[in-house]
Structure 1
Amino acid sequence: MHSRTAALSAVSVFLLTAFANAHATTGIEDMRSNDTVQGLYEIREKAREFVASENAKGEGKWNASEPNLKVFVPRCAVPLGARWDTIRWSSVDKRGELSEHTRRLIAVTCARSVDRAQKWDVHVPVARQLP
């Protein structure tokens, strides 16, 4: 029984190592659009383009981050759009009091996808640059 457990443990370590290496080498640069899926690379680049345009207006300096790597949306049939958006949520503090929170972000938008002409938007986090 001990040799079987050791073999399973070795296989588990191998699989975890292989997964970690594959995940480390697959970055957003490789996540490009294809015929059916909108690439996170293009979504990130649209967010960066939007932030550069907003920064040029002189109303603060922002940096766009990356979209969540788990996001999966159909390919957009029209050019991507972008706009400021805000997410809102509530939490309860230690005293049981409700606290409201907000966070500014960029919504990269698609008005019509290639699959069933659905709309979607992907939120991309932003951070204000310190002066």
Structure 2
Amino acid sequence: MAIERASKLRSILVAATLSACILCLTSWSIETDRSTELKHGLFEIREEARRFVAQENASEHEQWNVLEPNAKVLVPRCAVPLQTQWTPKSLGRSKPSVMVVCPDAVPNAVMKRWDVHVPVERKTHHP
């Protein structure tokens, strides 16, 4: 009887935990993923890619839209201003992207520098 009750309680606890996790995930977005003392937010990374693309669109004949960076990316806070460039074709990416680079991350145990590839797509022109 006690084992059956413990099993039911465990099932209820697992269901409640999963529901809470789903609520957390559904409330997360790039818009709310901001930088903290320890991590660099995807919002700021995407905004840096947008600034780069806006400059490129102003000076080139092609027009690009910035898409969302991979939501699974987690990088330490950058200690210096971010750098941006087109991702070199030599890196073998199948689609165009902007590489947002941190040449010097705040001291941490994981990485000294990082780069995040933010995908882009050509703007469609409507007649």
After TM superposition, the score normalised by the length of structure 2 is: 0.78
What SS class does the counterpart of residue 45 from structure 2 fall into?
helix
Cα root mean square deviation, aligned: 2.3
Offset of residue 7 of structure 1: 5.1
2:74 to 72, 75, 87: 72
Aligned to 1:94: none
Greater percentage in strand = 1
2:113 to 102, 105, 119: 119
1:46 to 33, 48, 70: 48
Structure 2's unaligned 5+ residue stretches are none
In 1, Cα distance between the equivalents of 2:120 and 2:8?
46
Aligned to 1:129: 123
CA contact (8 A) 1:38 1:75 kept: yes
After TM superposition, the score normalised by the length of structure 1 is: 0.76
Structure 1's unaligned 5+ residue stretches are 90-101
In 1, Cα distance between the equivalents of 2:19 and 2:122?
36
Greater percentage in helix = 2
